[in-house]
Amino acid sequence: MAEFVKRYKRYAQIMSVFAKHDFGYVFEHAGLNKLFGGGKEEADEGEALAAEVARQEGKSLELSKVPEPLTIPQRLRLAFEELGPTFVKMGQILSTRPDMLPRPYIDEFRKLQDNVGAIPFQDIKEVVEKELGSSLEDRFQSFSEEPLAAASIGQVHRCILSDGREAVLKVQRPGIEDTIKMDLSILYAMARIGNLSSLSEAIDLIRVVQEFERVILRELDFTSEGHLTEEFAQHYTEDPEVKIASIYWDYSTRHLLAMEFLKGTNISDLETLRKKGVDLEKMARKIVTLTMRQIFVDGLFHADPHPGNLMVLEGSVLGIIDFGMVGRFDRYTLRMLRELTFDIVQQDHVSMAIHLLDHDLVGYDADMRELRQDIRKMFRDISSQSMAQASEMLQKFILRHKLRFPADLFFLDKTFGTLDGTVRLLSPNFSYHAVMSDFTKELTFDVKSMDEALKALGFRLLQDMDALVELPILMRRLLRRAEAGHLEVHNALSVTPQTFSMINRLLLRLFGCFGGTTLLLVAGWLLATRPNSAALGGIGVEWWLLWTGIASLSLSLWSFWRDGRNV
């Protein structure tokens, strides 16, 4: 009963706020305004609210007695801010998905901020002690009562662990998980109602809530962020110029995340950085190159590189924190992204159109001439734009041509926009073109990528070895059925004994060439990765494969050459 009352009150609160911002018609359409009450009084506040927003934006109301009406995206953003953490977080997450929302909504949702107060220290203490199963005094030498930062999901405190390690502890807000799950069930109900209104013409509300649920439930599990942080750190174990905080798992749970405290200067503190002799232009170039490598080489990237998540440590080492918002690409998406990026840097509109078709991003019925013309026009305009403007232009091109990109690819829109703001802070006249040109050249000859491709090829060949062995048998059966007249393709297919013999020899030679090449590739891979593999008769397995492959390939090629001379 208590849960029902709580949910009823939350429904009433949400309806009241939406009615206040002139969305009451959605509930009136479904008849819910009579069930939960509210709506008229709150709707009367719309004019006063518009006047307040106009005042905040510096518009003079003296010049016009009637304030400029707010747009639907503006009113929705204000409603989200008033409804608290769940809705603010939903807006922030959806601001990374221009494939789901029209651009005006994206721009407004990016203005959403976590304007939340700090959690009282007593509540923080209770959460920490409950999660760790012991008192604060037993597990910490010291624990700062003042938070370093507070957000909608949790807040961060500096501390010293019992063994003397300096750390920061991210603590989840008490009750936030239950609140978000209750709000999710309400949001699904509201989305079903909203899809009956005119709002559904611009937004698929059910899909919006589903995307929010997928992301927010992952963020509520702090162990997920901890594992992602460690995965990032593994990519920089041999790079002395990048530092990622270690995770202290003995102090971490689903609702706590303890990590190493990094002593450094925030990237936005330009005066201190200059006093320490940091080359700001060089630092900007390092951040851009690092982000490019994360996206195009690792396929795992920090999707929120704003100044608060970057710091400069001793020796101009770049420190990166907060891996709550991360993008990831699979191998196929990564290859596609590299090819398209290379086309953009080279401004090759013909190659880009071909790659879009090859990767099934446009339908085969697409007007390729129109597509190439639009790409050429985009290339002409994009060269003079900033990173954020170029990213927005690409997004408009994607949506205009309804390109079928994977969902995670749209994270790049927010990532590049945030990256551009950070880089312009360090170096207002920073040139991306030179960095991107150098990076694409390096990417073309990336040894790591080639090594991974060869390994994947070797693994696939080993997987398909049984099918390769059975191929000649299957082809013989197919040809015998054709010879007997049992194989038909629209018309009966008849094969003479001489033709059958010729095709049989050809297939065996082709199989010999293919099998020999496969054995050589597998042997080369084994020699490179397993130098101490098992031996047969005193000779390593890889050498047996190597010589067998050479023999098979040589005999097949010699057979082709011999028949060629007899023609």
Q: Who wins on pLDDT, 337 or 513?
A: 337
Q: Assess if residue 320 is contained within a domain.
A: no
Over residues 511-516, the mean pLDDT reads 71
Residues 20 and 123 occupy one common structural domain? no
Average pLDDT, the chain: 78
Confirm whether 225 is domain-assigned.
Answer: yes
- Whole-number pLDDT of residue 170: 96
For 302-320, how does the pLDDT look when each residue is reduced to its tens digit (9 = 90+)? 988 988 899 999 999 999 9
Report how far apart, in Å, the C-alpha atoms of 93 and of each of 109, 230, 513 are. 9, 23, 53
pLDDT of residue 519: 73
Tell me the range of 23-27, 56-60, 353-357, 542-546 where mean pLDDT is highest. Answer: 353-357
Q: What is the pLDDT of residue 448?
A: 47
DSSP state of 240: T
Instruction: From 82, 114, 146, give the residue that closes a domain.
Output: 114
* Lowest pLDDT segment from 58-62, 88-92, 362-366, 513-517: 58-62
Could you tell me which of 74, 68, 20 has the C-alpha nearest to residue 46?
20
Write down the pLDDT at residue 72. 86
pLDDT (0 to 100) of residue 57: 46
The DSSP code sequence of 438-461 is: HHHHHHHT-HHHHHHHHHHHHHHH
pLDDT band for position 251 (cuts 50, 70, 90): very high
Residue 65's pLDDT is what?
A: 43
Would residue 110 count as lying in a domain?
A: yes
pLDDT for residue 391: 73
Residue 213 lies in a domain: yes
Residue 282 lies in a domain: no
DSSP string covering 65-98: SSPPPPPHHHHHHHHHHHH-HHHHHHHHHHTT-T
Where is mean pLDDT largest: 87-96, 220-229, 329-338? 220-229
Predicted local confidence at residue 157, as pLDDT: 96
Q: Which residues of 239-276 are buried (b: 16+ CB within 10 A; e: fewer)?
A: eeebbbbebbeebbbebbbbbbbbebbebeeeeebeee
What's the number of domains the chain is made of?
4
Q: Is the pLDDT of residue 35 over 50?
A: no
pLDDT tops 90 at residue 493: no
Band of pLDDT at residue 504, cut at 50, 70 and 90: low
Measured CA angle at 353 (ends 347, 358), to 5 deg: 130
Assess whether 126 and 198 both reside in one domain.
Answer: yes
**pLDDT tens-digit series, residues 96-141:** 777 677 778 888 888 887 667 788 999 999 999 999 999 999 999 9
Do 234 and 104 belong together in one domain? no
> Which comes out higher in pLDDT, residue 454 or 124?
124
Dist. CA 15–CA 31, nearest whole Å? 12
Pairing, β 491-492 against β 300-302:
unpaired
Last residue of a domain, one of 430, 445, 460: 445
One domain, residues 88 and 140: no
Question: CA of 11: how far to CAs of 27, 35, 60, 251, in Å?
Answer: 11, 10, 37, 37
Distance between CA atoms of residues 170 and 229, nearest Å: 14
pLDDT for 337 equals 86
State the pLDDT confidence band at 301, using cuts at 50, 70 and 90: very high
Residue 189 has pLDDT above 90, yes or no: no
Per-residue pLDDT at 19 exceeds 50: yes
Compute the average pLDDT of residues 220-245: 93
- 8 pLDDT band, cuts 50/70/90, is confident
Residues 132 and 247 in one domain: yes
More confident residue, 416 or 527: 416
Which domain range does residue 177 map to?
Answer: 115-261
User: Domain check: are 100 and 229 in the same one?
Assistant: no
Q: In the prediction, which pLDDT does 42 show?
A: 44
Going from the C-alpha of 71 to that of each of 23, 46, 108, the distances in angstroms are 12, 12, 10
Q: Are residues 493 and 420 in the same domain?
A: no
The answer to whether residue 423 scores a pLDDT higher than 60 is yes
103 compared with 27, residue with greater pLDDT: 103
Of 234-243, 470-479, 488-497, the range with the highest mean pLDDT is 234-243
Of 89, 67, 71, the closest CA to residue 80 belongs to 89
Q: Are 138 and 162 in contact (CB under 8 A)?
A: yes
pLDDT value at residue 199: 53
For the residues 328-342, what does the mean pLDDT come to? Answer: 85
188/164: higher pLDDT: 164
Mean pLDDT of 377-400: 77
User: Where does the pLDDT of residue 68 fall: very low under 50, low under 70, confident under 90, or very high at 90 and above?
Assistant: low
**Pair type for strands 310-313 and 317-320:** antiparallel
In a domain, 549, yes or no: yes
Mean pLDDT of 41-46: 45
**Is 455 in the same domain as 549?**
yes
- Domain end position, chosen among 261, 285, 306: 261
d(CA 536, CA 311): 56
For residues 562 and 528, state if they share a domain: yes
Is residue 25 a part of any domain in this protein?
yes
Q: Is the pLDDT of residue 195 over 90?
A: no
Of the listed ranges 19-23, 239-243, 245-249, 406-410, the least confidently predicted one is 406-410
Structure tokens, 234: 């593994």
* Residue 445 binned pLDDT confidence (cut-offs 50, 70, 90): very low
pLDDT of residue 40: 46
- Tens digits of per-residue pLDDT, 148-174? 988 888 899 999 999 999 999 999 999
Q: 150 with 31, same domain?
A: no
The answer to whether residue 311 sits within a structural domain is: no
Confidence of residue 43 (pLDDT cuts 50, 70, 90): very low
Would the pLDDT of 14 be above 90? no
Q: Do 232 and 356 sit in the same domain of this protein?
A: no
Considering the domain architecture, whether residues 468 and 520 belong to the same structural domain is answered as: yes
